[in-house]
Amino acid sequence: MFESITDSLGTIFDKIRGKRLTEEHIKEAMREIRIALLEADVAHNVTRDFIKEISEQVVGEKIIKAVKPDELIIKLVNDGLIELLGGEYSPIKQATKGPTVIMFCGLQGSGKTTTVGKLATKLLKENRKPLLVAADIQRPAAIEQLKILGKQIDVPVFAESGSDPVTICKQSIAVAELHKADTIILDTAGRLHVDDDLMMELENIAKATNPTETLLVLDAMTGQDAVNSAKEFSERLSLTGAILTKMDGDARGGAALSLRKVANIPIKLVGVGEKLDALEDFHPERMAGRILGMGDIVSLVEKAQLEVDEEDAKKLQEKFLKNTFTLEDFQKQLAQIRKMGSIKDLLGMLPGIGKQLKGVDIDDAQFDKIEAIIKSMTPKERTYPELIDYSRKERIAKGCGLQMGDITALLKQFKEMRKMIGKMGRSGMLGNLLSGGGMPQMDDEDGGGLGSLGGMNPMAGLGGFGGSGTKAQISKKDIRNKRKKEKKNKKRKKRRK
């Protein structure tokens, strides 16, 4: 998502970076930013106001005389984007009394039913108990779709094909009590266009259930059409927020950047794939960071926190510190990272990496290869890869149906990775990282680059990351003790000499 606008803004900023700016330079930059926004399908009036506001702050002596005018411009654009995206993060509310009712509405095919399933999955992770309600009785297939989803995630579904949507939604409150559910999600019917019938039905459902949240589901791929339909829906219903779906496709971002100004509703969640875990909270600030190619570390750490088991993370960190990290651990770590999403998307969240990834094809299937190779090894080989000689390589290659060269490449990169972990451990960098001190800059020593066999080096970073985001951390005290011990041992050895 946002790839093209990130690219164009990156090029514009590269041009002004480090320069002494004249008024002419600034005008040119503003003109180019305007084009970048329009090309990203941001609404005309939104673009016009955005450029006007920034220009007003930029033009004049202040910026030209500033010590770093380029940085000031980037900051203004960043602030402007955050504002366009809605300013502050707007979480899904919970009812203070009785069950929380979340009503979904939107045009046909916008992703309502899928997102109902995704939201329920998210709520389950937060220990909430959802009930799904099939209020789309137009099509029998729609009820079936919701029932299948409910079964998949083990969440009750209330569906009554003979009844009308308003009655079903009203009854669902008593049904929720029966199931001890605390959150009711209403999946309403969609239409091809906003029409009176649909609006009446939605208004009546809202009247009958008094929803805590009325969320409009919009297909981000439809750009300004989505924004226009949002305007129409918001004129009839008191919407509390929007969910933008299909942000994983080649949506240019125009809908996300225009929605707040045009329809005045906050974006609460974004859909980033067809799978049930492909739903993210929408944080304007982080999103602006992504658009400007500054990465989104916070979301990455949050993803890691959700997927990484604390106990496992602690064990892994100990292995990192002792540098006894094996191929078996590597495989486990890889599986955990893959649960978080596509590797390219994850790497794209690291500052500065998104740009480098442009045109680099990181094929997730490469990781299947790595897993297949490791699976074909004996436990002993996974722990002591140095045992793997020619004949063992031959056997492993046969076992996983790959070339011997693939096994050699994996072993070489694993060796490099261990060397790097060892180096980081000795320099104290790893201790700093594991105790939450942040992400070190890593050099790509083997020159393999991000494209090489899935780029293992950045993953070593991600592994540390997963750990650093969890509570199961090795404390600074542990590391100090370890260092003290090492010093003592050294002294003892010296004395012996």
Ligand X SMILES: Nc1nc2c(ncn2[C@@H]2O[C@H](COP(=O)(O)OP(=O)(O)OP(=O)(O)O)[C@@H](O)[C@H]2O)c(=O)[nH]1
Footprint on this chain of Mg ion (rule: CB under 5 A): 112-113, 142
CB of 271 to ligand X, least distance (A): 3
> What's the rounded Cα separation, in Å, for the pair 43 and 300?
30
Which residue of this chain has its Cβ atom nearest to Mg ion in the complex? Answer: 113
Name the residue nearer to ligand X (CB basis): 1 or 291: 1
Name the residue nearer to Mg ion (CB basis): 8 or 138: 138
**249, 440, 448, 451: residue in contact with ligand X (rule CB under 6 A):** 249
Helix %, strand %, coil % for the chain, to 5? 60, 10, 30
CB of 294 to Mg ion, least distance (A): 36
* Beta-ladder partners of 46: none
Angle in degrees, 0-180, between the axes of helices 327-339 and 310-322, rounded to the nearest 10: 140
Strand order in the sheet with 213-219: 157-158, 130-135, 183-188, 100-105, 213-219, 241-245, 267-271, 279-281
Expressed in angstroms, the distance from the first to the final Cα of the chain is 62
- The token pair that represents 216 in the structure block: 């409009």
CB of 462 to Mg ion, least distance (A): 35
Q: Contact region for ligand X (CB under 6 A) — 28-36, 240-248, 280-288, 436-444?
A: 240-248
> What's the rounded Cα separation, in Å, for the pair 51 and 45?
10
Name the residue nearer to Mg ion (CB basis): 147 or 315: 147
Name the residue nearer to Mg ion (CB basis): 102 or 142: 142
Angle in degrees, 0-180, between the axes of helices 69-84 and 284-291, rounded to the nearest 10: 130
**223, 273, 354, 464: residue in contact with ligand X (rule CB under 6 A):** 273
CB of 107 to ligand X, least distance (A): 7
Between CA 101 and CA 111, with CA 105 as vertex, the angle to 5 degrees is 110
Please answer whether residues 262 and 239 qualify as being in contact, where contact means their C-beta atoms are separated by less than 8 angstroms: no
Please answer whether residues 230 and 242 qualify as being in contact, where contact means their C-beta atoms are separated by less than 8 angstroms: yes
Size of the site for ligand X (CB under 6 A): 20
Is position 246 an interface residue for ligand X (rule: CB under 6 A)? yes
Is position 311 an interface residue for ligand X (rule: CB under 6 A)? no
Name the residue nearer to ligand X (CB basis): 244 or 456: 244
**274, 311, 363, 394: residue in contact with ligand X (rule CB under 6 A):** 274
**69, 80, 156, 190: residue in contact with ligand X (rule CB under 6 A):** 190
Name the residue nearer to ligand X (CB basis): 1 or 388: 1
Burial-class residue 319 by CB neighbours within 10 Å (0-12, 13-18, 19+): middle
Length of the chain: 497
CB of 393 to Mg ion, least distance (A): 52
Residues 93-132 that bind ligand X (CB under 6 A): 106, 108-114
| CA 41 to each of CA 44, 327, 431: distance values in angstroms, whole numbers, following the listed order | 8, 46, 46
Is position 272 an interface residue for ligand X (rule: CB under 6 A)? yes
> What's the rounded Cα separation, in Å, for the pair 493 and 142?
74
Residue 183 touches which member of Mg ion, ligand X, none, C-beta under 5-8 Å by kind: none
- The token pair that represents 458 in the structure block: 């950045």
Q: By rule CB under 6 A, what string of x and - marks binding of each residue 252-271 to ligand X? A: -------------------x
* Beta-ladder partners of 219: 245
Name the residue nearer to Mg ion (CB basis): 190 or 467: 190
Residue 240 touches which member of ligand X, Mg ion, none, C-beta under 5-8 Å by kind: none
Point out which residues bind ligand X (CB under 6 A).
Answer: 106, 108-114, 136, 142, 190, 245-246, 248-249, 271-274, 278
